[in-house]
Amino acid sequence: MIIMGPVEWLFDFWQFLEFYSDSVINATVRHLTLSFGAILAGIFVAVPLGILIANRAKLARVFLSITSIVQTIPTLAFLALVLPLLGVGVLPALVVLFLYSLLPILRNTYTGIRNIDAAYLEAGLGMGMNSRQLLFMVKLPLALPVIIAGIRLSTVYIISWATLSALIGAGGLGDLILTGIQTYDLNFILAGTIPTAVLALLAGSLINRLELSLTPRGLRTQG
């Protein structure tokens, strides 16, 4: 690699980005699709599952252990494991990311509901709510901040882990990083890394705002 001063280097990187803008944009779009696809699927599975296991202690232990174990499998190994089953491409990457997204959302939904002060549940039941009404009028609104915190955690992780899905041909910003590694080109590595970091930060703060606007005033004051 040629040694340059920072100004020249920035200029050089800028020219690089202009030249490769299409690839960077395509990779970013693919990256977002992969991440949010996985997260959305994660939410649709983990939130109802969390609600379901919240009052079933045994089931809760089973599902929480399974998702924790999934979490401990190194991403690289996991990708290699699904290869023979699902082949290469977008689908196996989505599946792996989806499985990774489950634990924080499931755990937070579960604890969010479990930690609701029993007085609220007793008041709700005592006034004649059925279990559905109790869920939608009391449990979910009270657990919502915790559930969203789980979703935020998952999202930030998944956006960064999605770079690895390039290894099994699913594309995304990881592709640029891989190219950079193979060709010893720092520009490629940075063109993959910087957007990933920015995406993760943006998504995190976006969800923070969403959480704030979804949290009723009466709950916000509690900090």
Residues within the interface to other proteins (CB under 8 A): 117, 119-120, 122-130, 133, 137-138, 141-142, 216-219, 221-222
Query: How far apart are alpha carbons 8 and 63 in whole angstroms?
Result: 54
Q: Nearest CA to 83 among 165, 145, 150?
A: 165
Separation of alpha carbons 50 and 94, rounded Å:
21
Least Cβ distance, residue 218 to other proteins (angstroms): 3
Minimum CB separation of residue 136 from other proteins in Å reads 11
- Separation CA 68–CA 109 (nearest Å): 15
Beta carbon nearer to other proteins, 23 or 133: 133
SS3 assignment, position 191: helix
What is the C-alpha separation between 159 and 174, in angstroms, rounded? 10
Closest CA to 147 of 114, 188, 106, 119: 106
**Tally of helices (H runs) and strands (E runs) in the chain:** 11, 0
Residue nearer to other proteins on the CB measure, 141 or 169? 141
> In terms of CB distance, is 71 or 133 closer to other proteins?
133
Q: Looking at beta carbons only, is 123 or 206 nearer to other proteins? A: 123
Closest CB to other proteins among residues 5, 216:
216
d(CA 59, CA 173): 38
| Tokens encoding 19 | 């030249």
Q: How far is the CB of 141 from other proteins (least distance, A)?
A: 4
> Could you tell me the two tokens for 220?
């916000």
The nearest distance, CB 139 to other proteins, in angstroms, is 11
**Smallest distance, Å, CB 149 to other proteins?**
17
For other proteins, the closer of residues 108 and 179 by Cβ is 108
Beta carbon of residue 123, minimum distance to other proteins (angstroms, whole number): 3
180 to 174, 176, 190: CA distances (angstroms): 10, 6, 8
